[in-house]
Structure 1
């Protein structure tokens, strides 16, 4: 399959949407929802021992901000991918900064509905600013350390703020109310806030931790030319003394997501399901319905020519 195809694959996970970086479908990952917490009716759906399950392909997409999308990119996004709803996790401050730097940038894309669901109400939370805000230093980024505590703190703050602000609840409610139209969610570069939401929803549906971590780690590759821009910002601000240190801070290091899943999602939240119930305020039946909408038989995924994970 060509990497320019509007469908992703394990070999070519990124979808070419001109003007948007780090664009990919989070569907296709093998999963096995935990049946112990499901209602009897929902549990029965997943009890067939012969069936294999995966995340519904062609429905949930993640990306960096689409502000510089081109007309060709709009055509792919709205026609071939049929995306109708876009959830924007950025703060108003970040949006204004983009508009100042790029006067021709788009806020709303023709043919779609933009939902402003800021995780943080104000301030810059791009990867560079997030690293500075939560104390991620060059020393945290050496390969010798098992975890990078600054990013783990940052991801916990993202999850808690998104619950408090209603940001993640809003996109979950949309999935409940309109399960037909594909959805795109994004922050600035599609790494941190986008990565946290992606991890939580994949975890909720029973995707293995190693696949969640692998999906997160793809952003290092997916940033493309934007990655170089962020590296240069770190060096210019002297927040990294060498290029190697800057690259490590910008990267989507698997250690960060591994620690977030184990030390925060499991140890502090009690799992992704309890996060959406206790912190986001969803009801048990709502969570069950979301899982049954997002998890499909593997045979359907193969017919859709999605990821063959």
Structure 2
């Protein structure tokens, strides 16, 4: 599966559809489009839910792809007001609202900079922690738990779910700054809810290292200039999407602290069981074979 989509001016843009769902029938009531036949294969609905870095520098050609090829009309923005103002200051020609789409402001954190570099600093991810051989980086796992809990309290993730449940809802895009941390946490939780295997969720998260493209060098240089990394290798490690971090988040936090993705959406986000069932049936479709 090749998830990356070329949208001019936006990096790390990809479809989270197509992943096989191992157990989509884990529902409180079995819907009509999900059966328990062992040979029946299911996957996340392709072309419906997309993730990306911020689209602030999208070009007219990129807008054309976004609207006409992908048919995206709703965009969910996880960034804080502080981050949006920072982008506007650095790039005066940046876009906040993309013509032909509706932007939904659903900040995970109300104020402050939570881009990957700042997030790492806030939660104690040091250059040494990023380059040692331990199984995962505790700072990032702690950060991802904070993202999940803050998003639940703020209603950020619930807003996307409830939008998807609308009968007229078309394809949606969600993003933060570079599409790694807040975006990665929501993607992981929704894929986990729908029965995607942990190894596929981890692989999806790890793709951001590749998906950042030209932005990687920009972020690396910022770390070196600030003195927050002394070598390029240390800087690369800090901004990387290390699969071990997501694996630990899924096992230690989603399962260990929340009791599973379903419990997270019901107990922390406040979604009724019926709405959780309905979003699964909307996102899980029969897998087609070519």
Both proteins in one fold, TM over 0.5 = yes
Deviation at 1:32, TM superposition (A): 2.5
Aligned equivalents of 1:51 and 1:16: distance in 2?
Answer: 32
> Out of 39, 47, 50, which is 1:50 matched to?
39
Which stretches of structure 1, 4 residues or longer, exceed 6 Å deviation after superposition?
none
* TM-score, L = length of structure 2: 0.97
* TM-score, L = length of structure 1: 0.91
Partner SS for 1:147: coil
| Cα pair 1:16 1:23 within 8 Å, conserved | yes
Deviation at 1:156, TM superposition (A): 0.3
> Does 2:151 correspond to 1:144?
no
Q: Match for residue 6 of structure 2? A: 16
| Cα pair 2:24 2:42 within 8 Å, conserved | no
> Does 2:289 correspond to 1:293?
no
Aligned equivalents of 2:35 and 2:148: distance in 1?
Answer: 28
Aligned equivalents of 1:185 and 1:233: distance in 2?
Answer: 25
| Cα pair 1:168 1:197 within 8 Å, conserved | yes
Aligned equivalents of 1:44 and 1:84: distance in 2?
Answer: 26
Unaligned runs of 5+ in 2: none
Q: Match for residue 5 of structure 1? A: none
Partner SS for 2:31: helix
> Out of 278, 283, 301, which is 2:267 matched to?
278
Aligned equivalents of 2:156 and 2:99: distance in 1?
Answer: 23
Q: Match for residue 237 of structure 1? A: 226
Partner SS for 2:174: strand
For residues 20 and 44 of structure 1, do their structure 2 counterparts lie closer, same or farther at Cα, with a shift above 3 Å needed?
Answer: closer
Deviation at 1:49, TM superposition (A): 2.6
- Superposition CA RMSD, Å: 1.3
Deviation at 1:153, TM superposition (A): 0.4
Deviation at 1:157, TM superposition (A): 0.3
Q: Match for residue 211 of structure 2? A: 222
Deviation at 1:142, TM superposition (A): 2.0
Q: Match for residue 177 of structure 1? A: 166
> Does 2:20 correspond to 1:30?
yes
For residues 291 and 192 of structure 1, do their structure 2 counterparts lie closer, same or farther at Cα, with a shift above 3 Å needed?
Answer: same
Partner SS for 2:30: helix
Q: Match for residue 86 of structure 2? A: 97
The alignment of Structure 1 onto Structure 2 pairs a total of residues equal to 290
Deviation at 1:39, TM superposition (A): 2.7
Unaligned runs of 5+ in 1: 1-9, 304-309
Partner SS for 2:163: helix
The one-character-per-residue Cα deviations of 1:21-45 (angstroms, maximum 9, x if unpaired) are 0000000000123534x13332882
The one-character-per-residue Cα deviations of 1:198-225 (angstroms, maximum 9, x if unpaired) are 0000000000000000000000000011
* Higher alpha-carbon deviation: 19-28 or 41-50: 41-50
Aligned equivalents of 2:102 and 2:29: distance in 1?
Answer: 36
Aligned equivalents of 1:18 and 1:171: distance in 2?
Answer: 25
For residues 32 and 179 of structure 1, do their structure 2 counterparts lie closer, same or farther at Cα, with a shift above 3 Å needed?
Answer: farther
Aligned equivalents of 2:269 and 2:124: distance in 1?
Answer: 27
| Cα pair 1:35 1:43 within 8 Å, conserved | no
Partner SS for 1:86: strand
For residues 146 and 100 of structure 1, do their structure 2 counterparts lie closer, same or farther at Cα, with a shift above 3 Å needed?
Answer: same
